[in-house]
Amino acid sequence: MRQASISALLGAALIPGVFAGLGKWVGGGDCPWGDKTASNTHPNDYPDTGVTRYYDFTISRATLAPDGVQQSMIVVNGQYPGPLIEANWGDWIEVNVHNEIHGPDDLTLMHWHGLNQPGTQYYDGVSSISQCPIVPGANLTYRFRADEQGSSWYHSHYSAQYSNGVVGPIVIHGPNDVNYDEDLGPILFSDWFHDSYEHLVDLVLQPTNGPPFRPLSDSNLVGGKGQYPCANVTNGAACTVNPYASWEVEPGKTYRARFVNTGATAFESISLDGHTFTVIAEDFVPVQPYQTDFVTIGVGQRTDVIFTANAGSGSFFLRAFNSPCGDTNGPDGRGIIYYKGTDPSVTPTSQPKQGTPNPTCGNNPLSSSVPQYAIPAAEPDQTITLTIGGKPDAQGIFRWSFNDISFVGDLDQPALFDAVAGINLPPQRNVYLTGTAQTVRIIVINTLPAPHPMHIHGHDFQVLAEGQGTWDGTIVNPSNPSRRDVHMSWAGAENGATNYQVIQYTQDNPGVWPFHCHIAWHLSAGMSILLLERPDEIAKIEIPAAVTDTCSAYTAWQAANPAVPVDDGLRKRDLAKRMVEFMKGHAHADKHHNKRGYRGFSFKDRDTGSLGSGRVEDNLAHKRDEV
């Protein structure tokens, strides 16, 4: 592979010729998983390799231009996307995360998406749940098992911070009983915003007294790159036309590509002109190969595909389209797959695949998703029904909820710490005690028009069913249902209609685990529950001092950075700042509302609110007087 593909994968200039695709495993020697295959080995039966892979991450601000527009970002080791974490199934991974976010200072921490943290719940890296944030100038070394295998990503789980660039790919090599010649590695897809995450969260949490404010993304990135139309830049930022990310292939060879949706809200439909995908894994689960022209991934989801370079020569667009299920002004993301000998800088003339509309924003049919290792659907010991809700609170701020409770975390009181100490968690943590149940079933009822990528921590879940109306108890592929760790809850319900999604998981991992929507703004507005699994065993967990120390450091940092704290989701905010931002938000909201473009599913009266009219300036002046 050429340098173009190197920088596309790793987001930074590397020495040409060093990177030649990923190997089948890291390091030399014999196959590290021996005779384990994807179909003969239970996913929890990971090998004991005795190897630790060490990484050192520095989180800092940087000025970069993923879509050609220069902007301030927060990134890992100066690059976007962050560096690849690569390990073999069963290895330990140790990552020393340094917070060097200054000018201004900010908090951070890191979550290893999809890994289950068996026995290391305190390294799950979720603010208000498994630790306190890492303060500027401090660090935390995470140590956890590569207990699953396949493709994933890491991201900041502090507020919506990851939407400003704190993300990177993870590849855990393991058996997949499907052959291919080369591994192109991870290809990250992301909606992209020119605004800071704080500003966007402030906009989302401004009082609307009506439907939620939904930020429109500016671009859609493929392999960390996009092409924003520079003529549309209005804030004076430098803008250049970025080359698309590109990957070289040779005729006749079969390639593995690992698609990861690292976006804030995007729902990506991915296709490759002139080629058909064969899906071989969904999230961390190898599946029976099936062919499709389109791969659909919501936020946090991954799909590994293989494709054969059988189109002879030339270059072809790898397309990602974030519409109509995403809120964006830039739905059209592209990369380039080019045959050896073709100039990747020449724009392809290839024609897009013809797709059928997907009004539910659902994933590919459950019936086609069959894990290579079969686990039948068990009878549940406990069933939880969760109805998705959303409405303005007393202050007029739109809050998402499950069963009418909107999750509010406490940054200096992680839920896991309380659970270990035997302290009852307050109602706003939206805790469901699942105790010693072996199998827990969760029925998610969506009565609202928006789709939601539902994600569980600490487990994979089985997806038993999805559909419109009321579930009749039918399980899709009951002897071996789909398994993964994120699944789309369908869009399109309203006016009394409902959609349902039925998932269930095995309680094999004591802890306090979030089950939440992975749309960054929905999580900030409370769309989470906590599953309290095996509390008697949680009480025995010994949290390392380095993790508990994050809280004393955070308390000291707060004292030195005084503010009036207000809880919202996974982050505390400053009330005074929020009022200022609220006022700025009115002006800014106007800009967003006037940026008509591709939009996702609408709340009927979303555009009839008080935002976006000539009254804005009046309101602003009026509120200034009040303050």
Summarize as ranges the residues that interact with Cu ion (CB under 5 A): 452, 517, 519, 522
Sequence-distant (≥ 6) Cβ neighbours of residue 303 within 8 angstroms: 259, 270, 279, 281, 282, 295, 297
- Count of beta carbons in the 10 Å neighbourhood of residue 183: 18
Query: Shortest approach of Cu ion to residue 413 CB, angstroms?
Result: 25
d(CA 565, CA 551): 15
- Which H or E run includes 590? helix 575-594
Q: Spell out a b/e string for 534-566, using b for 16 or more CB atoms within 10 Å of the CB, else e.
A: bbeebeebebeeebeebbebbeebbeeeeeeee
Query: Shortest approach of Cu ion to residue 112 CB, angstroms?
Result: 22
Choice between 66 and 600, CB closer to Cu ion: 600
Q: How many residues does the chain have?
A: 627
Query: Shortest approach of Cu ion to residue 358 CB, angstroms?
Result: 17
Query: Shortest approach of Cu ion to residue 218 CB, angstroms?
Result: 20
Query: Shortest approach of Cu ion to residue 531 CB, angstroms?
Result: 18
Query: Shortest approach of Cu ion to residue 490 CB, angstroms?
Result: 12
Query: Shortest approach of Cu ion to residue 129 CB, angstroms?
Result: 18
Query: Shortest approach of Cu ion to residue 455 CB, angstroms?
Result: 10
d(CA 555, CA 550): 9
User: Using only C-alpha atoms, what is the Rg of the chain?
Assistant: 23
Choice between 41 and 401, CB closer to Cu ion: 401
Query: Shortest approach of Cu ion to residue 265 CB, angstroms?
Result: 8
Choice between 173 and 522, CB closer to Cu ion: 522
Query: Shortest approach of Cu ion to residue 390 CB, angstroms?
Result: 9
Choice between 295 and 519, CB closer to Cu ion: 519
- Which H or E run includes 384? strand 382-392
Choice between 281 and 517, CB closer to Cu ion: 517
The answer to whether residues 244 and 355 touch, using CB atoms and an 8 Å cutoff, is: no
d(CA 237, CA 66): 13
Choice between 6 and 517, CB closer to Cu ion: 517
Choice between 448 and 547, CB closer to Cu ion: 448
Query: Shortest approach of Cu ion to residue 126 CB, angstroms?
Result: 17
Choice between 522 and 586, CB closer to Cu ion: 522
Residue 602 to residues 39, 72, 215, 242, 359: CA-CA distances in angstroms? Answer: 43, 31, 13, 32, 12
Choice between 190 and 315, CB closer to Cu ion: 190
Q: Which has the closest alpha carbon to 16: 4, 27, 24?
A: 4
Q: Which has the closest alpha carbon to 149: 55, 96, 86, 84?
A: 86
The answer to whether residues 424 and 582 touch, using CB atoms and an 8 Å cutoff, is: no
Whether omega before 243 lies within 30 degrees of 0, making that bond cis, reads no
Q: Which has the closest alpha carbon to 597: 219, 225, 251?
A: 219
Choice between 204 and 517, CB closer to Cu ion: 517
Question: Letter for the amino acid at 161?
Answer: Q
Q: Which has the closest alpha carbon to 50: 22, 23, 88?
A: 88
Sequence-distant (≥ 6) Cβ neighbours of residue 342 within 8 angstroms: 313, 314, 315
Choice between 238 and 497, CB closer to Cu ion: 497
